[in-house]
Amino acid sequence: MNKIFIAVILGLIFLVLLALSFSALFSGLNEEIAVIPIKGEISSSGDSFSSSMSSTEIAEKIKQADSNPLIKAIFLDIDSGGGSVVATKEIVYAVRETEKPITAYIGEIGASGAYYIAASSDLIIADEDSITGSIGVISVSANVTGLLEKLGIKVTVLKEGEFKDIGSPFKELNEKEKEILNELISEVAVNFKKDILDFRKEKMQEEKFNQIADGRILSGRKAKEIGLIDFTGSKSFAIKKTAELAGIKGKPSLKYFKKEQSDLFSLFSKMGYSFGSGFVSSLKASNSNFQLYAK
C-alpha cells in the first residue's frame, strides 16, 4: 500500500512539473500585440466598399484590445492624412482611456488629425521618409453659383437667422461670415495644438513646436529632430519597441483587428441608407456644407 501511495505522489509531482515546463515554454505565445489600422480619411461614417474603418469602429477595436487579457499592447498602424476633427477626437479619447501601452507607427503618411492620434499614444515611430506634421485646421466651402447660372438653375434659400446659410455653396461668404468661421477655426486649432503639447510635454520644446505648427508638412527625419516623434525606423522595428514597452519577452504574437465584412444583404442595405441619407441631406439647411477638418 505504501508503495502505491508513493507512486501516486511521485506521479502527481511529475505531472505538476510537466505542466510548469509547458507553461514556461509556451507562455510567450500568449502575449499578443493588437494591430489596429488607421488608413485613409478619418471619418465617423465608414465606406461599405472600403477596407478602412470609421472612427467609431477604430475606437471600438481599441476598447476591445484593451479589455482582452491576452493582449499586452496596442499598435496603431497609421497611413492617413487626417480627416474630420470630431471623428479624430473620438479615436484620441479611446487611446487616452486605455490602460495598456500604445505605440503609433507612421508609414507613408501620418499628418494633421492622424498625427494628433499618434501624439496621444505612448510612443511614436515613423519611417524617416514618411510625411507627418501638417498641424492645423481647415474648412473648404465651395461656391457653385457660377456653374448653376451657366446651367440655367436658380436656387431659392429660405432661412430664419442671419447666418443660418453660412458656408452655403449657393452664395459668396461675406466679411462677417468669414470672421465667424475664422474664429471657430482658430478655437479648434488652439485646442488641437494645446493637446499635442500636453501629450508630448516631456519630449518636445514648446518653442520649436510653435515654429512648425503652421500647417507645414515634415519628413519623419525632421519630425524626430523637433520631437514630434520618438524614433525613426521600419514597422518591424516599431513592433519590437512595442514589445519592449509592454515587457514582452521574445517574439510577440500579432493579433490583427480589421474591418468586419458585411454580408450581401447588409451591403445593399447600407447602400440604400447612404443614398437616402444623401438625398435627405441635400434638402436640409444649406449650411450643412460646412465642416472642420484636421487635414
Task: Give the list of residues 6+ apart from residue 148 with CB closer than 8 angstroms, or none.
Answer: 154, 155, 170
Angle at 268 between CA 267 and CA 269, to 5 degrees: 90
How would you write 130-197 as a 3-class SS string? CEEECCCCECCCCCCHHHHHHHCCCCCCCCCCCCCCCCCCCCCCCHHHHHHHHHHHHHHHHHHHHHHH
Q: Is 6 exposed, middle or buried (0-12, 13-18, 19+ CB in 10 A)?
A: exposed
Task: Say whether 269 is catalytic.
Answer: no
In this structure, are residues 165 and 147 in contact, taking their beta carbons and an 8 Å threshold?
Answer: no
CA pair distance 29, 26, nearest whole angstrom? 5
Radius of gyration (C-alpha) of the chain in whole angstroms: 26
Task: Say whether 154 is catalytic.
Answer: no
Q: Out of 63, 164, 176, 203, pick the active-site residue.
A: 164
Residue type, 133: G
In this structure, are residues 167 and 141 in contact, taking their beta carbons and an 8 Å threshold?
Answer: yes
Task: State how beta strands 83-84 and 293-294 pair.
Answer: antiparallel
Among the listed residues 30, 31, 52, the one whose alpha carbon sits nearest the alpha carbon of residue 41: 52
Task: Give the list of residues 6+ apart from residue 215 with CB closer than 8 angstroms, or none.
Answer: 134, 135, 136, 138
Q: Out of 112, 121, 130, 141, pick the active-site residue.
A: 112
CA pair distance 25, 41, nearest whole angstrom? 43
**Partners of 71 in beta bridges:** 32
CA pair distance 77, 128, nearest whole angstrom? 15
CA pair distance 194, 225, nearest whole angstrom? 20
The catalytic site residues sit at 112, 164
